[in-house]
Structure 1
Amino acid sequence: MPTSPQPIFTELLPGAAHWSMKIPKGFVLTAKDLEGGANLSLLFYNPENLLERYNAPDTLKCQHTFKLTTGHCLYSDMGRVFCTIVKDETNWIDTVCGVANKEKVAKKWGERSYQADRNQWKQNGYDSLLVEVAKYGLGKRDLAANLNLFSKVSSDTEGNLIFADNHSQPGDEIALRFEMDTLVVLTTCPHPLNPATEYPFRPVELTLTEATEMTLPVPPHGQDENQRGLENNRRYHCTHSHPAHSHPDHAHPEAQA
C-alpha cells in the first residue's frame, strides 16, 4: 500500500483520549497500536453535510461480511464510500459492538473523575465521542454505530459475541484511504467487551500521508458493490469542487473533556 514517504504529521493519542479532524480525499490515515490490545473507535461524517454519516449495516450488508479488513470500503448512509481499508495487519475489525457508556465502565472498572484523577480517570467511549461531535454542532442523536479498529468480535453457533483478547499486537497498523472529504471522530477508550481486570490505557499513534495511488484493493467480497459506491462518489464530486493538494486542518488530541 504505497503512500507518501514523508508524513504530513504524526500524533500520539494516549489511552482514554478523543480526537477529530477533517481529512481530504486522497489522504491516508494510518493508526498504529503501540503496546498491543488497543481499541480505536471511529465515526465518519461528511463535513459539507453532517447529516451524512457512517452506516455500519449498509457497510456489512453490501460486502456480505460480518468483519472488516483490507479491501473493504466504509459506506455512508447515502451510498457513498468515505474510505477504503488499504492495510489491516490484524485481519479483523469490529463494527457491531459500539462503545461503552459511563455506567458500563464504572461497573466493570470502578469510577474515577477527571477532577480527582486527571488523565488517569476512566473515560468511556460514548462520552468521548459526544464531546468531539459537539464541536461540530452535533449531539446524542448523531452518534451512529461506530467502527472499532484493533478489536475482533466473533460469534458462536448460538449467536453469542466473543471478544478476542490480545487480538492486536504491538506495532500492528491499520490504514484508511479517504475517497471523499471526511470528518473523522475517534476515541481510544476500551472496547465495551474488553474483559481486562484493570482499565486498559492503550495508546495509538496516528500518521497522515498523501496517497500515491487511488486504485481499489481487491476486497474479500463485494467488488461490484464497491465499484457502484465509488461511482456514487464520482458523481458527487462532479458537482462539488475539490481543491487539489489541499492539506487538512487538524486539532490536537485531547485526553479529557
Structure 2
Amino acid sequence: MTITETGTALDTVVEPGDGALLTVPAGGRLQIVDLQGNQAVDTLLYDAHDIDNRYSAFDTIREQRAVFLTAGSRLLSTRLDELAVISDDTCGRHDTVGGACSQESNVIRYGEHTRHQHACRQTFLWYGAQAGIGQRQLTHNINFFMNVPVTSGGDLRFDDGLSAPGRYVELTASRDILVLISNCPQVNNPCNGWNPTPIQLVGWW
C-alpha cells in the first residue's frame, strides 16, 4: 500500500529486522502501515526533551482500564503525561503486555539454537543510541498489530495476527516525542505469521 498526501514529511519502508528512530513534533501524525499483514511492530515512545519520561504500559492500562490499545487510546508516560493518542486504527486491537523479543528470551522460550537470531531488543539499542537511549531507558513496549490474547486465568498467548495487508495505525503526538521502532524479526512464534515482512512509515508534520 502506498500513501500519498500533500505535505507528507516522511514516507519510508522499514524491512523486517530493521528499525527507526523518529522525532515527531506536537500535533504531528505518524501512520504505521502493515504492508503484507500479520507483522508485529515493536514501538517505544519518549518525551523528546526528557528520555526518562517514557511510555508506561502499566500506567496506560491502569488509567484507561483496558489491556488492549485501539483508536482513542491515550499513550501515557511514567509521569502520566500524554505522549500520543491513537487517532486512527484499521486493525482494531494492539498488544502492550507481550514485550519485545530478545536473544535471551528466545533461548528460554524456543531453545539454544535461537541464541544468535536477531531480536527487537538489539534493534532498540542500536537505533536508540542515537538519542542516548540505552538499556536503562528500555521498558515495556507497544506491539502494534500483534495479537496476544489474555485468558480468563490471566495467561498470555502469542496467536496469529488480526491484521491484513494495508491496515494501519495512526499516532498523533501530544507533545514532541521520539518514536523508537523495531520491525520484529521473530520467526519462532506466529506474531509475524512465521514470515517477517516490511512495514511503511508515513508522517505529516
Shorter-normalised TM range:
0.7 to 0.9
- Which stretches of structure 1, 4 residues or more, deviate above 4 A after TM superposition? 109-113, 190-193, 196-199
Question: Which of 114, 130, 134 is matched with 2:125 structurally?
Answer: 130
SS at match of 2:149: strand
Structure ranking higher in strand proportion: 2
- CA displacement 1:186-215 (0-9 Å, x = unmatched): 1011469833799532111000014xxxxx
- Classify 1:196/1:76 alpha carbon distance in 2 versus 1 (closer, same or farther; 3 Å): closer
TM-score by length of 1: 0.71
Q: Partners in 2 of 1:191 and 1:69 — Cα distance?
A: 23
1:29 counterpart residue number: 30
Task: Please show how residues 179-218 of structure 1 align to structure 2 within 5 Å.
Answer: 179-190=174-185, 194-195=189-190, 200-210=195-205
Residues matched between the structures, number: 199
Contact 2:147–2:191 under 8 Å retained in 1: no
- Paired residues for 1:90-169 under 5 Å: 90-105=91-106, 108=110, 110-111=113-114, 122-169=117-164
Choose 1 or 2 for highest CA Rg: 1
CA contact (8 A) 2:38 2:192 kept: no
> How big is each residue's C-alpha offset from its partner over 1:198-243, in whole Å with a ceiling of 9 and x where there is no partner?
9532111000014xxxxxxxxxxxxxxxxxxxxxxxxxxxxxxxxx
Contact 1:99 1:192 in 2 (8 A): no
User: Aligned partners of 2:192 and 2:20: how far apart in 1?
Assistant: 26
Matched residue SS, 2:169: strand
Partner of 1:60: 61
- Equivalent residues of 1:99, 1:191 under 8 A apart: no
CA 1:63–1:11: 2 relative to 1, 3 Å: same
TM-score, normalization by structure 2:
0.88
Unaligned runs of 5+ in 2: none
Which one-letter code corresponds to 1:200 in the other structure?
Answer: N
**1:230 matched residue in structure 2:** none
Superposition RMSD in Å: 2.4
